[in-house]
Amino acid sequence: MAFLALRSILVLSLGLCSLAEYSIWNHTRGKDLDWWQKTVIYQIYPLSFMDSNGDGYGDIKGITMNIQHLKNLGVDAVWISPITKSPMRDFGYDVSSYVDIDPLFGTMEDFKALVAKLKELGIKLILDLVPNHTSDQHDWFKKSEANDPKYKDYYVWADPTFRPPSQNAFPPNNWTSAFGGSAWKYSTKRNQYYLHQFSEYQPDLNYRNENVTNEIKEVMKFWLDLGVNGFRMDAANHLVEKEGFPDEPVNLDSGVSDPNNYGYLKHIYTMNQPETFDVLADFRAMLDEYSHKTDNITRVMITESYTSTDEIMKQYGDQNRSIAHFPFNFNLLAELGDEADLFDLAINDWMSNLPQGAWPNWVLGNHDNRRVGSRYDPKMIDSLNMISLLLPGTAVTYYGEEIGMLDNMGITFNQTRDPIGIEAGPDNYLTVSRDPQRTPQQWNYQNFAGFTKGNETWLPVNPNYNIINVQDQTTLPMSHYNIYRQIVQLRKLPGVQKGDLEVSSIGSRVLAFKRSYDGEETGVVVAANFGEDILENINLAYVLDLYDKKLTVNITTPAATYKPGDIISSDDLSLNPMEGLVFTFQHSLASSRSLSVVLMFLSVFLVVRV
Ligand code: NOJ
């Protein structure tokens, strides 16, 4: 290395590098993995993928026209955010009919054509289902508000409380909405409050009424009959609330002082109630039964919840009953900064808490969180794709992440569409609005990045489309797009599909893991430098039990120390600042653990050049 200015040598101690091993694959040995286990799931936010009719909003035909893009990426499953009828207060997550396509997205014929195209290309389709709430424009809600005998208990209604001295009417309790403010809205038609855990336009369904569960199961059957392969269940841990509606306690650890802020309370009565798991298990049983009665192809159920790892793990179910095929793992969605050891912790948190035989997954981005290149240094995008796509389990990619799209922070308050941003007002909207990560897919250099032939777009295209777009990146060998494709191809190796995981961080700078599967010759190693320094003499031999192994460089980030095909010794690795590397190695059955323990105490050095 040419520009050595100062060399400091850190002797690695056990405290700086600790190895975690996960051999959870017993249940997969000798078995073929199922389609939902092998695949990458690509999330399409339909309003922003491709506009086929020039109205500025993405639509179903636009998706169908671009399915080849998914095929080119090597993706075998797509999850589409809601496309059913909606007043679009929350852009489809406020459903006014569960069984009609919203005209903004097209027609049922368009949907059938999309299903046919996906089938032709062998891509599975997962739809978003929003079981916790509907729109206040849904027929069920209108009838419920009018006290129609069949529908009056379809939603969560409660009488006002009357407080002295004025005896004025107040909401039934202190519950708050995830979008801010009280979770109760007064209906003058019914003289009662209805619960809305999200916006006031999204009344909560009442799952203490069995008819509601049955209605949603009918909805599921409707879409399954049309060829859908499963559902992503929105806000899955919110379905049932504690009977009697007791006040929730203040969360003293949160540091939040504004009672209108969702973080102010501990949501112990609105989230993760035991009955919620019963409803979810019922949905899962319906999917399994459907599959058994038809073609035995699994119809998958994926649950979405922002809650503690313990609670999320319960959504897998237990020996007595299955619930989700997997609940989303949002550990890599957190803002983990540039500390490799925090990533190590996030990975271990998921893997060490997984119930016996449960299938892991990794979500790197979605429509509710800042884009990867905006949460982290954009130079880390490829390394983070290497990590999330090569860890054990299903990986989920948000549209645009394959080209490293960034948040569009230039959106003005007037252009703001997200209800959370609007609620926050002109001074604060950008800190909370989800619009920046929902802007149109950047296809090429044409007007509006090729997203529309019209004159406007529902959210402004990120002006950086001149430098970040699909067309450009397909031609550049070291683009995010091409690196992403290489990683997805490598995922198909048995060592990655079924392999054990050994993961470790070396100090706060390097994250490294190994994937290998007994009986398969080829294993995979990923190493990423999260820091700004050049690192030398990194010894992966002990860290990942690779003593005496030669590593063959397979995929690199741009400006890498090595090139594909280079063979290096596992005890002498160099990494440029923010470099990520994927290696393959030939597996040998003899373990060298004891020898490497001895070696660790003799000579394990990390040399940092600054
Ligand atoms: C979670 C969805 O991902 C989010 O976009 C939506 O606003 C809420 N659920 C409410 O449905």
DSSP track, 424-448: H-TTTHHHH-SGGGGSPP--SSSGG
Instruction: Give me the pLDDT at residue 29, please.
Output: 55
Q: 139-195 maps to which CATH number? A: 3.90.400.10
pLDDT(594) > 60: no
Give pLDDT tens digits for 450-474: 999 999 999 999 999 999 999 999 9
pLDDT(592) > 60: no
d(Cα 56, Cα 391) in Å, to the nearest integer? 37
Is 241 among the catalytic positions?
no
Q: How far is the CA of 231 from the centre of ligand 1 (A)?
A: 14
Q: Average the pLDDT over 83-105 and give the result.
A: 98
Closest residue by Cα to atom 5, ligand 1, is: 368
Query: What sections of 122-260 are H helices per DSSP?
Result: 139-145, 210-225
The model's confidence at residue 337, banded by pLDDT at 50, 70 and 90, is confident
Longest alpha-carbon distance in the chain = 80
Instruction: Give me the pLDDT at residue 26, please.
Output: 52
Give pLDDT tens digits for 380-393: 999 999 999 999 99
Burial track 256-291 (b if 16+ CB lie within 10 A, e otherwise)? eeeeeebebbebebbbbbeebbebbbbbbebbeebb
The model's confidence at residue 15, banded by pLDDT at 50, 70 and 90, is very low
Ligand 1 contact via 90 beta carbon (within 6 Å):
yes
Q: How far is the CA of 96 from the centre of ligand 1 (A)?
A: 15
Instruction: Give me the pLDDT at residue 19, please.
Output: 80
The model's confidence at residue 610, banded by pLDDT at 50, 70 and 90, is very low
Q: Which atom of ligand 1 is nearest to the CA of 199?
A: 10
| Residue range(s) occupied by CATH 3.20.20.80 in the chain | 32-132+208-235+274-484
Give pLDDT tens digits for 469-504: 999 999 999 999 999 999 999 999 999 999 999 999
> pTM score > 0.85 for this model?
yes
Distances (CA, A) of 381 to 83, 364, 405: 29, 10, 10
Q: Does domain 32-132+208-235+274-484 have CATH number 3.30.365.10?
A: no
pLDDT(605) > 50: no
Ligand 1 contact via 42 beta carbon (within 6 Å):
no
SS3 of 300-313: the string is EEEECCCCCHHHHH
What φ, ψ does residue 367 adopt, rounded to 5°? -75, -5
Instruction: Give me the pLDDT at residue 588, please.
Output: 65
| Residue range(s) occupied by CATH 3.90.400.10 in the chain | 139-195
Q: Ligand 1: which of 198, 238, 330 to mutate, judged by most atoms within 8 Å of the beta carbon?
A: 198
The model's confidence at residue 315, banded by pLDDT at 50, 70 and 90, is very high
Ligand 1 contact via 93 beta carbon (within 6 Å):
yes
**Catalytic one of 90, 200, 204, 234:** 234
Is 344 among the catalytic positions?
no
d(Cα 371, Cα 354) in Å, to the nearest integer? 26
